[in-house]
């Protein structure tokens, strides 16, 4: 009887630990592009056929969805994958956000940080002091390792994001 009770309590604690881990992870990783459903909860997503340009495969993509930071998001960009001596995976995109008050104009730089042997890029938004954010690709949901995000205030409550991110 004691072993059954111990297993039951252990199972309950594992469940609670998993739930708390998921909540903390969700809070820590809410980013410029919040995701779920397929990988982002897109209201729409489209990707074109890859094209070989100067030794790199380039794929056009577009996405639109709601995000806590920036409100409604409409994104269009290019995924660039290059192999060879200077291999890289990069998203270069322009994004229109509907609510600049939640993500003020400025330049945000992702700082590569190693967590349990995996490198990810964190950035901060000044109106959320002490909180670090991750960027998830609008192409495939990968976590960016480094890059720059530049947000411009359009003067009408919206903003334009120009992002160059590396994976």
In sequence order, the β-bridge partners of residue 80 are 58, 90
Query: Can you give the pTM of this predicted structure?
Result: 0.70
* pLDDT tens per residue across span 109-145: 999 999 999 999 999 998 999 999 999 999 999 999 9
Look up residue 124 and give its two tokens: 């901060």
Residues 6+ apart with CB under 8 A from 109: 123, 147, 148, 149
Domain boundaries, the chain: 1-30, 31-166
- Residue 60, pLDDT > 80, answer yes
* pLDDT tens per residue across span 75-103: 999 999 998 888 999 999 999 999 999 99
């Amino acid at each position: 009887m004691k072993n059954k009770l111990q297993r039951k309590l252990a199972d309950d604690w594992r469940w609670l630990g998993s739930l708390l881990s998921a909540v903390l992870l969700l809070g820590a990783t809410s980013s410029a592009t919040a995701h779920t459903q397929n990988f982002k909860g897109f209201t729409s997503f489209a990707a074109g056929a890859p094209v070989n340009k100067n030794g790199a495969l380039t794929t056009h993509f577009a996405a639109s969805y709601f995000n806590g930071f920036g409100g409604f998001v409409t994104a269009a960009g290019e995924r660039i994958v290059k192999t060879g001596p200077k291999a890289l995976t990069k998203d270069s995109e322009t994004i229109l956000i509907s609510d600049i008050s939640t993500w003020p104009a400025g330049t945000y730089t992702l700082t590569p940080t190693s967590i349990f042997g995996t490198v990810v890029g964190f950035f901060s938004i000044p109106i959320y002091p002490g909180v670090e954010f991750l960027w998830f690709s609008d192409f495939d949901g990968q976590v960016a390792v480094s890059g720059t995000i530049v947000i411009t205030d359009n003067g009408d409550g919206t903003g334009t994001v120009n992002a160059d991110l590396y994976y």
